[in-house]
């Protein structure tokens, strides 16, 4: 067991040290998002802006909330959800997509995971900039709680890293996992307070509290909009990140040498 654990830790360390490898793959991943586009990555910001405005105009009327209050709520929550959903959608195919590299080069498997997570995070930062602009234009005052956002980023990156390893390995062995994940993403979106506020549940607020995805969104949205750090959400997200990373290391140590044959 100790040797298995060390094998996975060595792969993680090797992946982190392989800076040139994951930077090159990150650039490739980002380039593939904007291939043959005349305005390139600006589309990520433009499409986010349009979608936020469209959602805000419709759902502010549905929930009878003023636009000045609802647009920042949607902007931060939806952009954070995009990072989560994009990670969930791409994670199952992470090793399958990089099959040609895995077959030809003896790189740590975590190199591909780091590159994918980093590419998703770069896009998230561009989209998050859009949400911050909306917030400041609509008189959301900056507070000291904004200094917590780098910690939120670390939690997100560590969790995304673990999720990508877990789903990537499971999908290589069981190809139906990708279809299951894609089917579940919409259910998670509708059942998580992204478009609606937890207060709308009145006596059933425990439903939101029991949803880990709500807490991940909350550690970004609350510091920006409410000006404080949600300690319960921090505790939940850190716990989830730790558990997932332990599971990821176990799976990586157990199946690392078999992945190339399953591909």
Q: Please report the pLDDT score of residue 222 as a whole number.
A: 93
Range of the domain at 196: 2-262
CA distance 250 to 236: 21
Q: Please report the pLDDT score of residue 221 as a whole number.
A: 93
CA distance 91 to 166: 8
Sign of CA dihedral 55, 190, 151, 181: negative
How many CB atoms neighbour CB 188 within 10 A?
Answer: 18
Q: Please report the pLDDT score of residue 166 as a whole number.
A: 95
Q: Please report the pLDDT score of residue 205 as a whole number.
A: 67
**Helices 212-225, 110-137: crossing angle, 10 deg rounding:** 40
Q: Please report the pLDDT score of residue 105 as a whole number.
A: 81
Enumerate long-range contacts of 177-184, CB under 8 Å, 24 or more apart: 177/92, 178/92, 178/93, 181/88, 181/89, 181/91, 181/92, 182/89
Kindly give the confidence (pLDDT) of every residue in the chain, 263 residues in length, as a single tens digit, with 9 standing for 90 and above: 445 566 777 788 888 888 888 888 888 888 777 666 666 677 777 888 888 888 888 888 888 888 888 889 999 999 999 999 999 999 999 999 888 888 888 888 899 999 999 999 998 998 899 888 888 888 788 899 999 999 999 999 999 999 999 999 999 988 889 899 999 999 999 888 888 888 777 766 677 778 899 999 999 999 999 989 999 999 999 999 999 999 999 999 888 888 888 87
Q: Count of alpha carbons within 13 Å of 147, Cβ hemisphere only?
A: 2
3-class secondary structure, 109: coil
What's the structural domain count of the chain?
1
CA distance 109 to 146: 34
Q: Please report the pLDDT score of residue 209 as a whole number.
A: 77
Q: Are 218 and 233 in contact, with CB atoms under 8 Å apart?
A: yes
Q: Please report the pLDDT score of residue 40 as a whole number.
A: 64
């Amino acid at each position: 067991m100790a040797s298995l654990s060390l094998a996975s830790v060595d792969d993680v360390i090797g992946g982190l040290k392989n800076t040139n490898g994951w930077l090159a793959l990150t650039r490739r991943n980002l380039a593939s998002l904007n291939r043959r586009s005349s305005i390139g990555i600006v589309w990520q910001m433009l499409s986010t802006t349009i979608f936020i405005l469209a959602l805000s105009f419709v759902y502010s009327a549905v929930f009878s909330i003023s636009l000045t209050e609802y647009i920042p709520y949607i902007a931060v929550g939806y952009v954070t959800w995009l990072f989560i959903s994009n990670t969930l959608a791409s994670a199952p195919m992470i090793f399958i997509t990089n099959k040609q590299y895995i077959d030809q080069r003896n790189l740590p498997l975590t190199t591909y995971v780091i590159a994918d997570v980093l590419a998703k995070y770069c896009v998230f930062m561009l989209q998050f900039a859009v949400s911050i602009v909306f917030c400041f234009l609509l008189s959301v005052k900056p507070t000291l709680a904004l200094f917590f956002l780098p910690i939120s980023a670390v939690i997100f990156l560590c969790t995304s890293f673990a999720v990508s390893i877990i789903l990537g390995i499971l999908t290589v062995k069981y190809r139906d996992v990708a279809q299951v994940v894609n089917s579940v993403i919409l259910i998670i979106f509708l059942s998580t307070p992204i478009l609606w506020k937890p207060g709308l549940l009145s006596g059933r607020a425990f439903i939101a509290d029991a949803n880990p995805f709500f807490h991940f969104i909350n550690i970004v949205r609350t510091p920006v909009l409410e000006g404080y750090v949600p300690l319960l959400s921090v505790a939940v997200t850190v716990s989830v990140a730790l558990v997932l990373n332990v599971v990821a290391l176990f799976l990586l140590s157990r199946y690392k040498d078999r992945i190339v044959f399953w591909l």
